[in-house]
């Protein structure tokens, strides 16, 4: 923590349960801090924060008055660890960092931590490109967002093109144009690439787009109407018609944006619905009095946490690395609302208000989010139940000890051995787990091109060597319960041999072969040491396996195509030390091609902006090395 004293940490072993917790009280004071509760295997059961460590631990030491969830946690506790902090806010931030790192069983854990897309208007070009942006804000410009999804950004960009006529082409395409593109013909671009709009007029379009994204669309519409009337009065009918079209497009944008609150300029509306131990948190993003989409999340509920605790944990984890808006509209009161607000304000560098509205437009926004949370959770629970039945059927069909919680499916892709990649997809009770997908660039120099057995051996060896290194005791949830391999008896025997060599031959392996005439529906299944078999044509488990195999094939093909496209666009300039993307563009713009750069002399290379005498020598030596 900034400006805080070094934390104090100590641990001890004690009897189980209340007696264990009681034994720590004599060594604790009223300092704020974070505590960890561990079981007999030294696994972290729970991470918590406290304004006073002594008072909080004394609450756990009481033999009664606990919920069923907390009572179970206490009964499993055999030791505790403590970290003192300067303030309770620091304790809250440290608590959430430890939860994300340790993933304790009894804590609420946000499992989806993807970044959100923004719209970016750069400031480093005379005719800036309106584009989608995700990740670090390394480009100087105006950022608008967050948007709930890439689809929401794309829809907004499409609408903005019609109204403001800003380009969306890359800088390289922009500088290479000699005549306007199709977007100009369909009135979605002002064609700055060929000088059809002046820099001053384009800057006006950019300013209008920024005003619109900041919620000032009414002022823009009034100005456009005034300009249209002036053009009409001046007999500039073509310009008046163009302005009329822009006004119509702006009206269509305003009508298609759904829920646009008048009294809420900037807020995130967050509601949680809990049913049968499963939770859905729905987040609506409101910026500039416009709804920029919504996203649902399904946090792990910590073996039975209630709505306020789920919501509090969600807020602190969700905004870790994301800037919170000035207002958060919530469905439930938080136990530590002032503390959460202080932590979020510290991250944002300004005040952040938490509110649970009871009436009016804000309450309607929260009710809308809560309704969406209920509907989303109902659909997910139905889908999870269906997925659970399929996994049960998979266990019966393949003779497993129980339904698998994690199924890994492997496939390879290449063209005559070139640009070879391996792919792994993962499925579980919640369907495909895309955050767990992995790609493997085949590195084996000794492999014969097209050697599928050799590629599979490399992929599985790398995968399970890493698992053995990171989680040798199989305590986490990254170990598979079933491996599905695209192939027949040969592939299965190779995989079984690999797994035996690695000492992990207790994981079931099933090969999925195309079968007679390579028709879908006639698949044969192969297991080590067993005769191949097939499932009946209309068996739901067969369709499920086909979906798993097809998803692995899709991911492998997509990964291979991306690698091949990168290889096609590769340049000899890519490997030169000191030549990044900017200098590479400057060299290509000056000489026209990498081959021309290689033919250039030292004085010619130094004539390029950003290329020093020393770097020119490095480039010349690299491209002319024998």
| Mean of pLDDT over the chain | 83
Please check whether residue 207 lies inside any domain of the structure. yes
Q: Would you state the torsion angle of the CA atoms of residues 478, 483, 484, 488, taken in this order, to the nearest 10 degrees?
A: 150
Which element (helix H / strand E) includes 497?
Answer: helix 489-502
In a domain, 398, yes or no: no
Indicate if the pLDDT at residue 3 is higher than 50: no
CA separation (Å) from 103 to 68, 300, 461, 465, 472? Answer: 20, 10, 27, 23, 17
Residues 424 and 547 in one domain: yes
pLDDT at 42 over 80: yes
Q: Which of 222, 255, 288 is the last residue of a domain?
A: 255
Q: Is there a single domain that holds both residue 454 and residue 509? A: yes
- Same structural domain, 100 and 190: no
- Based on its alpha-carbon atoms, the radius of gyration of the chain, rounded to whole angstroms, reads 30
In the listed set 62, 86, 106, which residue is the last one of a domain according to the structure?
106
Work out the average pLDDT over 142-169: 83
| Residue range 172-198, pLDDT digits in tens | 888 888 888 888 888 889 999 999 999
What CATH number did the domain enclosing 583 receive? 1.10.150.20
Q: What is the CATH number of the domain that holds 366?
A: 3.30.420
Is there a domain that residue 1 lies in? no
Q: Are residues 46 and 146 in the same domain?
A: no
Predicted TM-score (pTM) of the model is: 0.68
Whether the predicted pLDDT of 250 surpasses 70: no
- Position 401 in a domain: no
pLDDT at 419: 66
Q: Which residue has the higher pLDDT, 591 or 220?
A: 591
Determine the structural domain holding residue 23 and report its residue range.
9-106
Q: Which tokens in the block code for residue 254?
A: 């305003």
10 Å Cβ neighbour count for 594? Answer: 16
Do residue 424 and residue 553 come from a single domain? yes
d(CA 609, CA 586): 7
pLDDT category, 78, cuts 50, 70, 90? very high
Q: How far is CA 4 from CA 1, 7, 11, 47, 93, in A?
A: 6, 8, 21, 20, 13
The most confident of 58-72, 135-149, 609-623, by mean pLDDT: 58-72
Mean pLDDT is lowest, of 1-15, 164-178, 293-307, 553-567, for 1-15
As a whole number, mean pLDDT of residues 128-157 equals 84
Select from 376, 127, 164, 426 the least CA-distant residue to 271: 376
Question: Taking CA 5 as the corner, what is the angle to CA 4 and CA 6, rounded to the nearest 5 degrees?
Answer: 120
pLDDT tens figures, 515-568? 665 555 678 899 988 888 888 888 889 989 999 999 998 988 887 777 666 655
Q: Distance (Å, rounded) from C-alpha 587 to C-alpha 532? A: 60
Whether 71 and 181 share a structural domain: no
Number of domains composing the chain: 5
Residue 283: per-residue pLDDT? 93
**441, 557: one domain:** yes
3-state helix, strand, coil split of the chain in percent (to 5) is 45, 20, 35
Asked whether residue 61 falls in the same domain as residue 157, the answer is no
Mean pLDDT of 470-479: 84
133 Ramachandran zone, left/alpha/beta (phi>0; psi -120 to 50): beta
Within a domain: 391? no
44, part of any domain: yes
Instruction: Answer yes or no: do 54 and 151 share one domain.
Output: no
Q: Looking at the predicted structure, is the pLDDT value of residue 35 above 90?
A: yes
Q: Looking at the predicted structure, is the pLDDT value of residue 575 above 90?
A: no
Q: Are 447 and 547 members of one domain?
A: yes
- Write out the H or E segment, with its range, that includes residue 95: helix 88-102
Are 76 and 39 in contact by the 8 Å Cβ rule? The answer is: yes
Residue 430 has pLDDT above 90, yes or no: no
Q: Among all chains, which residue has been given the structure tokens 């606990």?
A: 66
DSSP letter for each residue of 176-202: H-SS--HHHHTTS---GGGTSS-HHHH
443-473 per-position pLDDT tens digit: 766 666 667 788 888 889 999 999 998 888 8
Q: Phi/psi at 545 (nearest 5 deg)?
A: -65, -40
Q: What are the tens digits of pLDDT across the range 262-285? A: 788 889 999 999 988 889 999 999
More confident of the two residues 333 and 112: 333
Q: Which pLDDT score, from 0 to 100, does residue 613 have?
A: 84
Give the pLDDT confidence score for residue 443 in this predicted structure. 73
Instruction: Count CB neighbours of 562 within 10 A.
Output: 13
Q: What is the average per-residue pLDDT within 413-426? A: 74
Quick check: is 261 in a domain? Answer: no
Q: Which segment of 229-243, 258-272, 285-299, 326-340 scores lowest on mean pLDDT? A: 229-243
Q: Does residue 111 sit within a domain?
A: no
Percent of the chain topping pLDDT 90: 28
Cα angle 372, 345, 319 (rounded to 5 degrees) comes to 40
> What integer pLDDT is reported at residue 56 of this predicted model?
92
Query: Does 556 lie in the same domain as 428?
Result: yes
Question: For residues 150 and 496, which has the higher predicted lDDT (pLDDT)?
Answer: 496
The CATH code of the domain that includes 478 is 3.30.420.340
Decide which of 82, 106, 130 is a domain's last residue. Answer: 106
90 & 180 share domain: no
pLDDT at 420: 78
pLDDT digits (tens, 9 = 90+) for 353-363: 999 999 999 99
**Six token digits for residue 430:** 């919640």
Contact 299, 111 (CB under 8 A): yes
Q: Answer whether 175's CB lies under 8 Å from 589's CB.
A: yes
pLDDT at 626: 47
pLDDT at 9: 46
């Amino acid at each position: 923590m900034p400006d805080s004293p070094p934390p104090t940490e100590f641990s001890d072993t004690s009897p189980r349960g209340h007696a264990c917790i009681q034994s720590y009280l004599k060594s604790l004071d009223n300092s704020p801090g974070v505590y960890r509760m561990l079981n007999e295997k030294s696994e972290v059961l729970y991470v918590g924060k406290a304004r006073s460590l002594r008072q909080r631990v004394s609450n756990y030491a009481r033999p009664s008055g606990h919920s069923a969830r907390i009572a179970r946690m206490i009964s499993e506790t055999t030791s505790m660890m403590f970290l003192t902090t300067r303030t309770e806010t620091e304790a809250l931030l440290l608590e959430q960092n430890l939860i994300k790192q340790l993933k304790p069983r009894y804590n609420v854990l946000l499992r989806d931590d993807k970044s959100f897309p923004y719209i970016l208007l750069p400031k480093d070009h005379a005719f800036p490109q309106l584009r989608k942006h995700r990740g670090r804000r390394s480009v100087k410009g105006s950022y608008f967002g967050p948007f709930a999804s890439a689809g929401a950004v794309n829809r907004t960009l499409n609408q903005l093109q019609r109204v403001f006529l800003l380009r969306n082409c890359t800088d390289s395409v922009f500088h290479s144009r000699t005549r306007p593109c199709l977007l100009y013909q369909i009135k979605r671009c002002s064609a700055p690439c060929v000088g059809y709009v002046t820099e001053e007029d384009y800057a006006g379009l950019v300013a209008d787009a920024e005003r619109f994204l900041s919620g000032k669309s009414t002022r823009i519409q009034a100005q456009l109407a005034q300009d249209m009337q002036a053009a009409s009065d001046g007999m500039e009918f073509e310009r008046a018609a163009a302005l009329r079209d822009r006004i119509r497009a702006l009206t269509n944008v305003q009508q298609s944006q759904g829920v646009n609150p008048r009294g809420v300029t900037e807020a995130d509306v967050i509601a949680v619905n809990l049913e049968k131990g499963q939770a859905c948190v729905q987040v609506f993003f409101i910026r500039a009095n416009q709804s920029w989409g919504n996203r649902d999340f399904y946090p792990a509920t910590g073996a039975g946490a209630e709505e306020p605790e789920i919501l509090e944990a969600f807020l602190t984890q969700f905004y870790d690395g994301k800037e919170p808006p000035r207002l958060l509209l919530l469905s439930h009161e938080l136990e530590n609302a002032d503390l959460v607000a202080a932590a979020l304000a510290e991250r944002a560098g300004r005040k952040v208000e938490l509110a649970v509205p009871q009436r009016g437009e804000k309450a309607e926004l929260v009710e809308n989010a809560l309704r969406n949370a209920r509907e989303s959770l109902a659909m997910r629970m139905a889908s999870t139940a269906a997925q659970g039945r399929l996994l049960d059927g998979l266990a019966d069909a393949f003779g497993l000890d129980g339904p698998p919680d994690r199924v890994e499916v492997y496939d390879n892709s290449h063209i005559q051995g070139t640009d070879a990649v391996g792919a792994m997809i993962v499925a579980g009770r919640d369907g495909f787990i895309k955050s767990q997908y992995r790609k493997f660039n085949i590195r084996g120099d000794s492999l014969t091109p097209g050697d599928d057995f050799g590629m599979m051996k490399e992929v599985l060896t790398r995968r399970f060597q890493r698992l053995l290194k990171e989680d040798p005791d199989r305590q986490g949830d990254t170990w598979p319960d079933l491996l599905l391999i695209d192939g027949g008896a040969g592939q299965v025997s190779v995989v079984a041999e690999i797994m035996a060599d690695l000492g992990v031959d207790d994981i079931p392996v099933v090969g999925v072969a195309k079968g007679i005439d390579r028709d879908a529906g006639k698949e044969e299944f192969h297991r080590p040491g067993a005769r191949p078999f097939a499932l009946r044509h209309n068996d739901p488990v067969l369709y499920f396996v086909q979906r798993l195999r097809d998803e692995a094939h899709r991911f492998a093909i997509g990964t291979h195509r991306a690698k091949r496209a990168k290889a096609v666009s590769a340049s000899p300039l890519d490997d030169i030390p000191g030549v990044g993307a900017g200098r590479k563009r400057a060299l290509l713009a000056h000489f026209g091609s990498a081959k021309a750069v290689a033919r250039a002399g030292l004085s010619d290379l130094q004539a390029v902006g950003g290329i020093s005498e020393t770097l020119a020598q490095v480039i010349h030596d690299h491209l002319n090395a024998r």
